[in-house]
């Protein structure tokens, strides 16, 4: 298993790539099993993305793979510089709305988007008024990686909170 790739230079140092272990198509979705190593612990989760990405849609699903997903949440808190609560667990399954960004030629930082990467902005929304975050999920099947790219540094606690349960 390969190590997580953390980009400590770009933006606020919270962008990272995980490795795609497998991919299948199920119920009009691509289902990715995403796993990597972080500090010698296996981390990962299942990610479902609709096969027909629209400009706006729903159905980006994060699902737990058990202990390795719980390890992912602990790693996420660490990468984001947050203090994890005891007994944090990855949510069993959660679905978010999204917008497809593949039609946009340039990223917000002026870099040209690569044609072989599927760019998706995920809108993470909880039940509370302030429980909101945005996260770019970039799927690079050529290199078998999925990147978590931060939209805003301030979203870190909400990304971590909305993907976890106590």
**Terminal Cα distance for the chain, rounded:** 28
CB-count burial class (<10 Å; 0-12, 13-18, 19+) for 62: buried
Number of domains composing the chain: 1
Contact 128, 101 (CB under 8 A): no
Alpha-carbon separation of residue 32 from 64, 106, 123, 148, 154 (angstroms):
12, 26, 19, 14, 27
- The proportion of the chain whose per-residue pLDDT surpasses 70, expressed as a percent, equals 92
Give the separation between CA 42 and CA 67, rounded to whole angstroms. 9
Residues 6 or more apart in contact with residue 118 via CB below 8 angstroms: 49, 53, 102, 138, 139, 140, 141
pTM of structure: 0.91
Domain that holds residue 115: 5-165
Give the separation between CA 60 and CA 28, rounded to whole angstroms. 12
- The tens digit of pLDDT for each residue in 91-134 reads 999 999 999 887 766 666 667 666 778 889 999 998 888 889 99
| Residue 73 confidence (pLDDT) above 70 | yes
| pLDDT score at 87 | 86
Q: Which of 10-24, 63-77, 95-109 has the lowest mean pLDDT?
A: 95-109
| Residue 84 confidence (pLDDT) above 80 | no
Segment of 41-45, 103-107, 147-151 carrying the highest mean pLDDT: 41-45
Question: What three-state secondary structure class fits 70?
Answer: helix
């Amino acid at each position: 298993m390969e190590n997580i790739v953390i980009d400590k230079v770009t933006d606020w140092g919270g962008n990272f790539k995980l490795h795609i272990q497998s991919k299948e198509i199920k119920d009009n979705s691509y289902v990715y099993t995403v796993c990597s190593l972080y500090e010698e612990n296996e981390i990962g989760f299942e990610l479902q993305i609709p096969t027909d990405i629209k400009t706006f849609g729903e159905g980006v699903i994060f699902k737990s793979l058990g202990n390795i997903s719980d390890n992912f949440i602990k790693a996420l808190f660490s990468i984001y510089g947050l203090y994890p609560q005891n007994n944090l667990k990855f949510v069993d399954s959660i679905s978010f709305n999204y917008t497809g960004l593949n039609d946009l030629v340039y990223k917000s930082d002026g870099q040209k988007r690569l044609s072989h990467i599927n760019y998706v902005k995920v809108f993470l929304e909880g039940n509370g008024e302030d429980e909101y975050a945005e996260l770019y999920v970039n799927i690079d099947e050529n290199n078998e990686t999925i990147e978590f790219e931060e939209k805003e540094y301030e979203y870190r606690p909400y990304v971590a909170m909305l993907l976890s349960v106590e």
